[in-house]
Structure 1
Amino acid sequence: MVTAGLIVALLAALLHGYIFVMESVTWTSPRTRAVFGMTEDEAQTTKLLAFNQGFYNLFLGIVTVVGVVAAFTGATAVGVALVFAGVGSMLAAAVVLLVSARDKARAAVTQGALPLVATVLTAIGLAL
């Protein structure tokens, strides 16, 4: 069960890497603007904010990947702690998005589903 949780955590990290690309690299592109429902002017106005936010997502993904690698190479306690820190923060951010912007519920669920599953599977696996 822990292994399944760690694999799902890797998927969450990959998703957050993709979010990093959208927010920090392609924010003003037509495709990314469509994903976030923004006009060109809105994208230009929020470009710096999105750039910074994208790096938060990247760092959460990196922490998670480092944790998974550590767990799989024998440093289980350190690895799982890092995984919980990474996916827990991803999940918390999804909850904040859901609570603060109900119209972004789909994005919040997309952002939070994998971290939630990773957290539950890993926790159950550790408890067994």
Structure 2
Amino acid sequence: MIITALVLATLAALLHVYIFFMESLWWTTDKVRATFGSTPEDAEATKEMAFNQGFYNLFLAIATLAGVVFHMAGEATIGSTLIFTGTGSMLLAALVLIISSPSKASAAIKQGIFPLLTVIALIIGVAL
């Protein structure tokens, strides 16, 4: 189950790296504006906020990937701690999005499914 958790954690991290690119680098592009349902004016007005938010996603991805690397290097406690911290934060952020903006539930589910499955798999893997 640990291997499953490591694969899921990697997928969660890669998704959050992609979100980083969308929010921090591509926020005002037509494709990203369409994804987030924003107008050119809205995208320009929220560009600084999105830039900052994108880095939060990147940092969570880095923590998660570091956990995977530590786990693979035989440092299971450090690895699990970093993976739980990174994916747990991703999962909680998705939950906050669902609660605060129910219209964005689909995006929150996409953002939170890999972290949720990672946390479940890692709990089972650590318990065994």
TM-score class, shorter-chain normalisation, is: over 0.9
1:44 paired with 2:44, answer yes
Q: Deviations over 1:78-100 (max 9, x none)?
A: 01000000000000000000000
Query: Counterpart amino acid of 1:110?
Result: K
Which position in structure 2 is the counterpart of 1:103?
A: 103
Query: Where in structure 1 do 4 or more consecutive aligned residues deviate above 2 Å?
Result: none
Distance 1:102 1:123 in 2: 28
Map 1:29-108 onto structure 2 (within 5 A): 29-108=29-108
Q: Between Structure 1 and Structure 2, how many residues are aligned?
A: 128
TM-score (norm. length: structure 1): 0.99
**Could you say what the CA RMSD is over the residues aligned between the two structures, in angstroms?**
0.4
Distance 2:64 2:115 in 1: 10
Percent identity of paired positions between Structure 1 and Structure 2: 52
Which position in structure 1 is the counterpart of 2:112?
A: 112
Structure 2 unaligned spans of 5+: none
Query: Counterpart amino acid of 1:105?
Result: A
Distance 1:79 1:110 in 2: 24
